[in-house]
Structure 1
């Protein structure tokens, strides 16, 4: 009986849709109100029909195609399988009642409504782009556990893990035309607001774990505003400002389908695309779809790196393909991990390589060190344009106080350093500085005191290179400076290793901090 009522209702709604195409906006709102009242009378079936813009799913089709053409896809898959014949064409004529029943069977906090727009997106995933959907299914086995952990941390519905399918097709290196980046497509400002690092070498928007943490926080904040998951999902896509305007224009109602035509065009398709993604991820087998797993390892683990290192050093020492390292660590934009003792970074490796890295860590850092980091500095590859100095070992650190009339060009000329270096050292964007601001400058060793004799400049503790080392009783005592690591300190004393320093100082780990005194016994 219930199925008969549902089918009758679907037929009635379909007739209303034909009427709506000829109606003006006022009439359309009235029809939608009638639908809401009718659907509310059917227990267990709360879907609302939305009148689809026929081109909406083309926007998402283009997004899926962009995944195919991306570096990530080309290096993670044998893409020849995309040319295979469509195996799921025999599933094209499923009755609507089947979709309704399947969506109702999914245990979900987010309402999984069914309508023609949702059906169009299901067809996109299962009929028009089935091979790419199979690639997404394979990628989900790697990314979903990371995402689920963050959603659980903030007590959010687990089905929100389907959002990155809509945002990026699970491509962590995706970049939109509006410069949104990563699995969750964070804009620069939103990423910074949620404490994601975005710098020359690192973009945490491309880090699956850190971006998922930020996304969970953002979704939680949005839910505190709307208390409605459809509106939260829409607001994530177009921003709460656009959703608030749509609510006001719809008379104050907080119902996604009621504000549907007041939302930006692309956002109208966002919730239906999300529902379709949830459907496909739960019922792909019924459409003869099969996960196609990426070439990079699914089973991985992470380790903290405390010295800067190039992917090529890791690849050659551990015999791991560069493409694999890049796929597992997409947040490092230039294949360089700019780690220091006081600021470690995470490296993800195949599980079986973790112990090998620990055993050979010193060899990894030492491999062709001068080639990758000349003068013990991190340099952006020349083919990327201007060179940025990121490490300042061996340099004097001075602090300059900005005066009226100063600009970065004047300061860089005064201290004979690059403007881009000043920006990097001080996290300056768009050349904006203010009177009284403290600007850190690194100058060649021994030049610090010379500059400090002029106005508005003072030396800092790092500049006194003569105070680094003292001797007593046959031992050398080294004072740790900012940027030091056990490896870089050991290099100063021939024959001394990291382990020698750790053993002599009763250290259980390799963590050190500026100002710490280390006892060292040079080898004769």
Structure 2
């Protein structure tokens, strides 16, 4: 599947600690309140002190310009940033602009929503600038997943609140990925989470599961504000708030009964929809990109380390990691089942052609043993053997590589002594023969030393047989051709050549 877009993954933004299904048992406490007027003249009581801003709003952008993708693709218009000044509008303008958004989900305005808008367009302008740059890559992925489930496309802005569009985001509560799934929720939705693979961080798979989850939540309440709130704190807490309110089913009416962080979640969602559509009206300059990154997907059917791919294809490993954030330890366990690998599209054919070279590159370094024999008994160690039915001194002595006479001496046995089942015999390994595992290890060592004369060289861009031969003393270009059965002098980057012994 080919995707065309811009990617600026891993911008160093802070994370959001929201997580699904975390059932809180927070009792409603009466607090000092201020009135918040809704557009339909309904008034509710909301306390300023009950608001909890998402962690993504507190993003640290100090390391932004040193980020690999920012260096490769981002263009920051410093003149625009220096001259950008926020424009403040009266409430009536915000009400009008929100009402003009082409959304299915209701976007009401009040003082709580206004505070979130102000947070984004005033104090967190740099964050919005970078979110706009990231959105050119991620929004098409989100829209495709939402469209597949028949959901409102404005839900695509939820990951901005959840993770600041960082697939590697992990909250203090343990939620991870763009959509901030908890492990339990992710697994229940069919996402794989283990030591090597965390599909909560996979932009495509996690978006598909998030859309399904949101659809299920809407099926419970048939109200998008309540569904969005339950995405944050779990349906149990929303249902609890409904009960405490006396059975009311309007988000703004059950507002005081919701967990603290959820009280700000829907207002933040409304604010993000406003900011991502009207950023120009506040003189916010989006981060642009020098050129688009075209990507394509291949299936990996063998265990491979991302460094092996990086070395052979000459792709920075940071780029492969950013495109494939679901591989937690840089290992693709393709030996278990096929896994997707996203690469720049111009490298896909190079990968297919060089697969054998990739898997062979530093194979010993990344190999995982499937079986291993323990070492034999250390010399001078006294062990004990429990006699089993049918065993004789001769068989036991042969098993441990000792003599029958020594076995008798260590256990004070005479020639006329009989063995009984369950009897414990002391056995010393002093003077014992090498165990089979020791012999195997010696054989492997001998084999390894015997093959040490052969070396391998991975061809890099611009190299020829002659330049490669100059790197190995006593080796000519003809020697390399002969060793690798080459008919001509043509070689390709990533090709693995055997270097003969000098």
C-alpha deviation, 1:298, in angstroms: 3.8
**Distance in 2 between residues matched to 1:248 and 1:221, nearest whole Å:** 21
C-alpha deviation, 1:187, in angstroms: 0.7
Q: Name the CA shift for 1:290/1:225 in 2 (closer, same or farther; >3 Å).
A: same
C-alpha deviation, 1:303, in angstroms: 1.1
Question: Which secondary structure state, in structure 2, belongs to the residue aligned with residue 68 of structure 1?
Answer: coil
Match status 1:359 vs 2:333: no
Match status 1:234 vs 2:258: no
1:259-309 Cα shifts (integer Å, max 9, x gaps): 111011111100000001111111112222232257996431211111111
**Distance in 2 between residues matched to 1:50 and 1:196, nearest whole Å:** 40
**Distance in 2 between residues matched to 1:352 and 1:268, nearest whole Å:** 47
* Residue number in structure 2 paired with 1:158: 153
C-alpha deviation, 1:367, in angstroms: 1.3
1:382-408 Cα shifts (integer Å, max 9, x gaps): xxxxxxxxx73x689xxxxxxxxxxxx
* Residue number in structure 1 paired with 2:204: 209
Match status 1:39 vs 2:32: no
**Distance in 1 between residues matched to 2:106 and 2:83, nearest whole Å:** 27
**Distance in 2 between residues matched to 1:339 and 1:295, nearest whole Å:** 34
**Distance in 2 between residues matched to 1:249 and 1:72, nearest whole Å:** 48
Question: Which secondary structure state, in structure 2, belongs to the residue aligned with residue 299 of structure 1?
Answer: strand
**Distance in 2 between residues matched to 1:71 and 1:27, nearest whole Å:** 40
Question: Which secondary structure state, in structure 1, belongs to the residue aligned with residue 151 of structure 2?
Answer: coil
Check conservation: 1:76, 1:294, Cα contact below 8 A: no
Question: Which secondary structure state, in structure 2, belongs to the residue aligned with residue 258 of structure 1?
Answer: helix
Match status 1:123 vs 2:118: yes
* Residue number in structure 2 paired with 1:77: 70
C-alpha deviation, 1:145, in angstroms: 1.1
Match status 1:103 vs 2:122: no
* Residue number in structure 2 paired with 1:347: 341
1:428-449 Cα shifts (integer Å, max 9, x gaps): xxxxxxxxxxxxxxxxxx99xx
Check conservation: 1:235, 1:242, Cα contact below 8 A: yes
TM-score, normalised to structure 2, is 0.63
**Distance in 2 between residues matched to 1:175 and 1:83, nearest whole Å:** 31
1:316-353 Cα shifts (integer Å, max 9, x gaps): 2212111111111110011111112x610011111221
Check conservation: 1:63, 1:169, Cα contact below 8 A: yes
Give the one of 58, 62, 68 matched to 1:65: 58
Output aligned runs, 1:308-347, within 5 Å: 308-340=303-335, 343-347=337-341
Considering only aligned residues, what root-mean-square deviation do their CA atoms show, in Å? 3.4
Check conservation: 1:309, 1:337, Cα contact below 8 A: yes
* Residue number in structure 1 paired with 2:385: none
Check conservation: 1:207, 1:330, Cα contact below 8 A: yes
**Distance in 1 between residues matched to 2:61 and 2:132, nearest whole Å:** 14
**Distance in 2 between residues matched to 1:84 and 1:67, nearest whole Å:** 22
Query: Per residue, is there more helix in 1 or in 2?
Result: 1
* Residue number in structure 2 paired with 1:197: 192
Give the one of 277, 300, 308 matched to 1:305: 300
Question: Which secondary structure state, in structure 1, belongs to the residue aligned with residue 252 of structure 2?
Answer: coil
Unaligned runs of 5+ in 2: 1-28, 374-435, 438-483, 485-502
**Distance in 1 between residues matched to 2:317 and 2:82, nearest whole Å:** 34
**Distance in 2 between residues matched to 1:190 and 1:371, nearest whole Å:** 36
Output aligned runs, 1:103-502, within 5 Å: 103-293=98-288, 298-340=293-335, 343-373=337-367, 377=368, 392=370
**Distance in 2 between residues matched to 1:323 and 1:338, nearest whole Å:** 19
**Distance in 2 between residues matched to 1:210 and 1:186, nearest whole Å:** 12
**Distance in 1 between residues matched to 2:255 and 2:86, nearest whole Å:** 29
Q: Per chain length, whose mean CA-contact separation is higher, i.e. which structure has more relative contact order (CA < 8 Å, sep 6+)?
A: 2
**Distance in 1 between residues matched to 2:192 and 2:277, nearest whole Å:** 34
Q: Name the CA shift for 1:148/1:85 in 2 (closer, same or farther; >3 Å).
A: closer
Question: Which secondary structure state, in structure 2, belongs to the residue aligned with residue 138 of structure 1?
Answer: helix
C-alpha deviation, 1:355, in angstroms: 1.9
**Distance in 2 between residues matched to 1:70 and 1:55, nearest whole Å:** 32
Check conservation: 2:84, 2:285, Cα contact below 8 A: no
Check conservation: 2:81, 2:285, Cα contact below 8 A: no
Question: Which secondary structure state, in structure 2, belongs to the residue aligned with residue 301 of structure 1?
Answer: strand
Q: Name the CA shift for 1:296/1:166 in 2 (closer, same or farther; >3 Å).
A: farther
Check conservation: 1:82, 1:132, Cα contact below 8 A: no
Question: Which secondary structure state, in structure 1, belongs to the residue aligned with residue 261 of structure 2?
Answer: helix
Question: Which secondary structure state, in structure 2, belongs to the residue aligned with residue 334 of structure 1?
Answer: coil
Question: Which secondary structure state, in structure 1, belongs to the residue aligned with residue 341 of structure 2?
Answer: strand
* Residue number in structure 1 paired with 2:417: none
**Distance in 2 between residues matched to 1:208 and 1:243, nearest whole Å:** 27
Q: Name the CA shift for 1:137/1:304 in 2 (closer, same or farther; >3 Å).
A: same
Q: Give the aligned length.
A: 348
Q: Name the CA shift for 1:395/1:48 in 2 (closer, same or farther; >3 Å).
A: farther
Q: Name the CA shift for 1:67/1:234 in 2 (closer, same or farther; >3 Å).
A: farther
Q: Name the CA shift for 1:49/1:288 in 2 (closer, same or farther; >3 Å).
A: farther
Check conservation: 2:170, 2:177, Cα contact below 8 A: yes
C-alpha deviation, 1:77, in angstroms: 2.7
**Distance in 2 between residues matched to 1:302 and 1:272, nearest whole Å:** 38
Runs ≥4 residues deviating over 4 A: 24-29, 47-50, 69-73, 78-89, 293-297
